[in-house]
């Protein structure tokens, strides 16, 4: 339970978003192609969580240098080791979300992380494109362009200035997306207007501005404090793709 007066821990936000993504899109869809693209994700929290929960391929697009913490590596190593344990017991890989009688986890025995598990975790860190997500960067980066063409989903959790580009690029490429808007940057974007001509100068107006880009964009609330509105576009069906082409 959240203690009054204390801010929620940031990793709870990432976990809440990832479980929302799994509920909406499912593991099979997320794992298709190049997988999930986590934009402006800082330390790659969403990418790590999705990869650990259900082995979904992920990559990170962020101009900042990413410092993978020891805590992240240990979580990754433990997830990899759990998959091995499940395989030994003939269980389906459920990414740490289910256990069965007779397994070490069900018996309350911790899965030991071995040095070789940590090494595998280091080698399987989600790839990182250290760049901004914009049209010029995409045009000049063939590898990034290929990842975007083949990805299953674009994600942005409090991605700041990258939030609107995520939505625009996803719509242009007919890709589903999930964004959790945060900062508005009204002074840097005075051209933004709602349909009634109102300036986009508040969080609520920014959310409305993004949602008005396409009538198919849906919204929901994530279970954490603060700016927790999530906007998302579900996969297009064949008829919708034909209408947008």
Express each pLDDT in 117-145 by its tens digit. Answer: 888 778 778 889 999 999 999 999 999 99
Determine the average pLDDT of the residues in 49-60. Answer: 83
Is pLDDT larger for residue 46 or for residue 241?
Answer: 46
Where does the pLDDT of residue 194 fall: very low under 50, low under 70, confident under 90, or very high at 90 and above? very high
The set of long-range contacts for 226-230, using a CB threshold of 8 Å and a minimum separation of 24, is 226/7, 226/8, 226/13, 227/158, 227/180, 227/181, 227/182, 227/203, 228/13, 228/180, 229/180, 229/181, 230/17, 230/20, 230/178, 230/179, 230/180
Tally of helices (H runs) and strands (E runs) in the chain: 10, 7
Alpha carbon 232 to chain centroid, angstroms? 11
Provide the pLDDT for residue 240: 58
Where does the pLDDT of residue 98 fall: very low under 50, low under 70, confident under 90, or very high at 90 and above? very low
Express each pLDDT in 12-41 by its tens digit. Answer: 788 899 999 999 999 899 999 999 999 997
Q: How far apart are alpha carbons 195 and 186 in whole angstroms?
A: 16
DSSP string, 51-91: HHHH---EEEE-SSPP---HHHHHHHHHHHHHHHHHHHTT-
Where does the pLDDT of residue 229 fall: very low under 50, low under 70, confident under 90, or very high at 90 and above? very high
Is pLDDT larger for residue 52 or for residue 38?
Answer: 38
Where does the pLDDT of residue 241 fall: very low under 50, low under 70, confident under 90, or very high at 90 and above? low
Whether pLDDT at 73 is above 90: no
Q: Which of 5-19, 191-205, 228-242 has the highest mean pLDDT?
A: 191-205
């Amino acid at each position: 339970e959240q203690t009054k007066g204390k801010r929620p821990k940031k990793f709870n936000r990432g976990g809440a978003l990832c479980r929302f993504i799994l509920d909406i899109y499912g593991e099979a869809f997320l794992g298709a192609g190049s997988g999930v693209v986590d934009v402006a994700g800082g330390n790659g929290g969403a990418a790590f969580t999705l990869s650990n929960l259900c082995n979904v391929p992920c990559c990170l697009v962020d101009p900042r240098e990413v410092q993978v913490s020891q805590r992240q590596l240990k979580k990754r190593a433990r997830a990899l080791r759990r998959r091995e344990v499940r395989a030994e017991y003939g269980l389906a890989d459920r990414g740490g979300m289910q256990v069965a009688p007779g397994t070490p986890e069900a018996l309350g025995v911790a899965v030991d992380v071995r040095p070789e598990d940590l090494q595998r975790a280091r080698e399987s860190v989600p790839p990182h494109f250290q760049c901004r997500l914009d049209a010029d960067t995409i045009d000049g980066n063939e590898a990034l362009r290929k990842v975007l063409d083949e990805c299953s989903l674009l994600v942005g959790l409090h991605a700041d200035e990258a939030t609107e580009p995520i939505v625009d690029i996803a719509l242009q490429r007919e890709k589903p997306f999930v964004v959790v808007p945060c900062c508005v940057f009204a002074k840097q974007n005075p051209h933004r207007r709602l349909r009634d001509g109102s300036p986009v100068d508040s969080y609520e107006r920014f959310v409305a501005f993004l949602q008005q880009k396409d009538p198919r964009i849906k919204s929901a609330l994530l279970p954490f404090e603060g700016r927790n509105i999530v906007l998302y576009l579900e996969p297009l069906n064949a008829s919708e793709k034909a209408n947008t082409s």
